[in-house]
Structure formats: C-alpha cells, structure tokens
Amino acid sequence: MKVLFRADASIRIGSGHIMRCLTLAKTLQQQGMSCHFVCRQTDGNLIDYVVEQGFVVFSLSGTAEDEVKDAKQTLAQLTQQYQLLVVDHYKLAKTYCLALRQRCQQIMVIDDLANRAHDCDILLDQNLYPKLEQRYAGLLPKHCLQLLGPRYALLRQEFYQSTEPRSDSHILIGFGGSDEQNLTSLAIAALQQLKLTPITADIVIGANNPWRTEIEQQVASLPNVKLHIQCNYMATLMHKARLMLGAGGASHWERCICNLPGLVVTVAENQQATTAYLDHLGACVWLGQAAEMSAQFFAEQLSYYLSQPALLDEISEKAAAVVPANVGTPLVVQHILQIIRGLDGNH
C-alpha cells in the first residue's frame, strides 16, 4: 500500500507539519506501507532532511497562489495511485483534496485551525479545546472519522520508551524548529542571569534556525549548557529535565507524555487557545506571547518555579493526565489501517 504526504516547512511556518508527518510515515512504514512526500521548495524547507529519513520526495518549485495551482503541480508529479493522502497544510483544504481524489482513494487531513471546509475521510486534530467535539461542525463530510484531542497526538516512538530519573535544577529550552522570534537567545541570556546554582541546561534548536551562529557563540561561554541541533532524542532530554521553557504547538503533547512541567510562550496565534486551556487545567504555565518576553522575565520565572518543587510536581501530575502513555500514534495508525483495509463500519 502507498501513502502520500503533502506538507511544507519554512522559516516562517516552522518544521512542525513535516515532523509530525514523518512520525506518522515512519510508523506506517513499519506496517509495510510505502510513503512518499510532496513538499514545496520554500526558504527553510526540510526536503533534504525528509530524504535522509529514507523517503521519496516530490518537490514543488515557485509559490502556489492557491489550492488549484498547488493541486495541478502535485498531480503533475504523480504517476501512481495511492491508498491514502495525508494533508498537513494550513493553505490547503477542500479544493485541493477534491482534485487529488483522482490519484488517492482515501484522504486524511491533519488540522488544528477548524476554519475551513475539508473533503476527507479522516480528520486529526490532536489539540485540546473546550467543546472539542463541536469544532468541526459543518466543515466535514458526514462519513468523516474525527480523531480529536491529545489521545491522538502524533508522538515519535521514543516517547513510549522507559524513563530516566530527572536531574534537579536541570532546564530544557526549545522554541521549535525555526524560532523566528529568536526566543532561544533570550532564554540563554536568562540563564546567565540566574543566581541559582548549580543550573544545567539542554538547548534544542532546529537545523533551520536563522540565529544558529549567534546561539552557538552564546552557549560556548556557558560551561553547564549543551546545545543540540535537530536532535532525534527529545524524549531523553525531556525525561532528564525538571522544567522546560519553550513554545506551544506539538511540544505540548511531548511534555505531557513525559510528565514534564512547562513554561510556555505562544509564538503563533493558533497556539493560544490550547495553551490557555492547558494553563487553566494546571498542565502548564502560559507565560504569554513572544512579543512580551524578555531575558529578565525568563530569569524571574525560571528562578521562581525551580524553587517550588511541590508546584512543579503538581503541574507534572496534571500534564501526565492529558496524554496517557498507551495512546497517541499507535491509536491513529490503528484507525488508518481499519479505513484503508475497509474494516471500519462506516466504509
């Protein structure tokens, strides 16, 4: 069976769409499926990285003004039929999927905006909102299977492995693949201000981070800080840390399954509702939006929460309840296989 993924990465939109599609592709590959990607040659794309992971990539050149043009470019690259198309793209919706039906039998859409109509057989939204079941009312075909909430979070296999003991006063910092606002540099400056000792930290940035040289220079002056670039062992770092300072988005669910308390900065508008709700549940602390941050504020927040072990334990417990350890990617794949193989009662 063949699966086609349509997703992009860039400095502006980050790497999250590609990374979660890779997680799903690798798991489907383990089930004997052949997975191909369609990606646009944007500034900061991850096409080479996807190829390095062992997948065929059809690359699209130029800028797609609309869904129709993107669909035509995609179809021009395809010479075979696919049992499933997975679309993870904020600019593509019903029009694109309708056009791709001629090559793809079933369609799965990964979304978290709920702001446009889709033509799909499966809709995955791994985020947590109040009244989650009503978010896509009127936007999907009646037969569409909706996989809603963190129990369907696309987490890499490493997050289901055994845990290591945490290190007290150890911080993990990660603001996503591109970190367009350069919050990482502010966080490093905050570490330099912290009076607590001994403080150690792991800092994770993506290969596309435009501030990489500056960050490497900052970290070089801090003996207890280690920089990781495009790492594939995030779970190990999360299990080691006592506290994480980072962005919203998919890392919410990684933190939750690792029981890791998080101080969260929202770096995009679509992260705000979920982060606010998780903060309300006590499963993280929402510090605010990227434009409101400063090194001094980061230092104050880190210092306060590291000095409150009972509070961190409480946040950890609330986070663990959001994403149980026995669900996530395997559950998503189970539903996909049922639909592709015609075992689902609705198909």
- Structural domain boundaries enclosing 140: 2-154+328-340
- Indicate if 147 and 6 belong to the same structural domain: yes
Q: Indicate the length of the chain as a whole number.
A: 347
- Indicate if 243 and 119 belong to the same structural domain: no
Query: What's the rounded Cα separation, in Å, for the pair 32 and 124?
Result: 22
Judge whether 70 lies within some domain.
yes
- Indicate if 67 and 199 belong to the same structural domain: no
Query: What's the rounded Cα separation, in Å, for the pair 167 and 190?
Result: 20
Residue 43 DSSP symbol:
T
Single pTM value for the model: 0.87
The pLDDT of residue 248: 93
- Indicate if 90 and 78 belong to the same structural domain: yes
Query: What's the rounded Cα separation, in Å, for the pair 186 and 173?
Result: 11
Sheet holding 2-7, edge to edge: 56-60, 34-40, 2-7, 82-88, 104-110, 122-125, 145-148
The pLDDT of residue 346: 43
CA dihedral 18, 44, 253, 139 (to 10 degrees): -60
- Three-class secondary structure of residue 261 per DSSP: coil
Phi and psi at residue 85, to the nearest 5°: -110, 130
Query: What's the rounded Cα separation, in Å, for the pair 85 and 182?
Result: 34
Judge whether 288 lies within some domain.
yes
Q: What's the total number of domains in the chain? A: 2
Residue type, position 98, single letter:
L
Judge whether 347 lies within some domain.
no
Judge whether 246 lies within some domain.
yes
For the beta carbon of residue 74, count every other beta carbon within 10 angstroms: 22
- Indicate if 15 and 118 belong to the same structural domain: yes
- Indicate if 119 and 45 belong to the same structural domain: yes
- Indicate if 193 and 315 belong to the same structural domain: yes
- Indicate if 200 and 334 belong to the same structural domain: no
Q: What are the structure tokens assigned to 76, written together?
A: 């021009």
CA angle 148, 235, 323 (to 5 degrees): 25
Q: What are the structure tokens assigned to 136, written together?
A: 């896509």
Judge whether 134 lies within some domain.
yes
What are 229's strand-pairing partners?
A: 205
- Indicate if 132 and 163 belong to the same structural domain: no
Task: Return all residues near 165 (Cβ < 8 A) that are at least 6 apart.
Answer: none
Exposure string (b/e) for 221-246, b if CB count within 10 Å is 16 or more? ebeebebeeeeeebbbbbbbbbbbbb
- Indicate if 115 and 218 belong to the same structural domain: no
CA angle 271, 273, 275 (to 5 degrees): 65
Q: What is the CATH classification number for the domain harbouring 38?
A: 3.40.50.11190
pLDDT, mean of each 10-residue run, the chain (347 residues): 96 90 97 97 94 97 90 97 97 98 97 96 94 94 96 92 82 91 96 80 92 94 92 93 95 95 95 96 98 96 95 96 88 93 54
Crossing angle of the two packed helices 295-306 and 309-322, in degrees rounded to 10:
90
DSSP 197-211: SS-EEEEEE-TT-TT
- The enclosing H or E element of 189 equals helix 183-193
Phi and psi at residue 124, to the nearest 5°: -115, 120
- Indicate if 117 and 15 belong to the same structural domain: yes
- Indicate if 203 and 316 belong to the same structural domain: yes
Judge whether 253 lies within some domain.
yes
Q: Taken in order 105, 114, 273, 292, is the CA torsion positive or negative?
A: positive
Q: What is the CATH classification number for the domain harbouring 302?
A: 3.40.50.2000
Judge whether 123 lies within some domain.
yes
Judge whether 165 lies within some domain.
yes
The pLDDT of residue 212: 94
The pLDDT of residue 195: 63
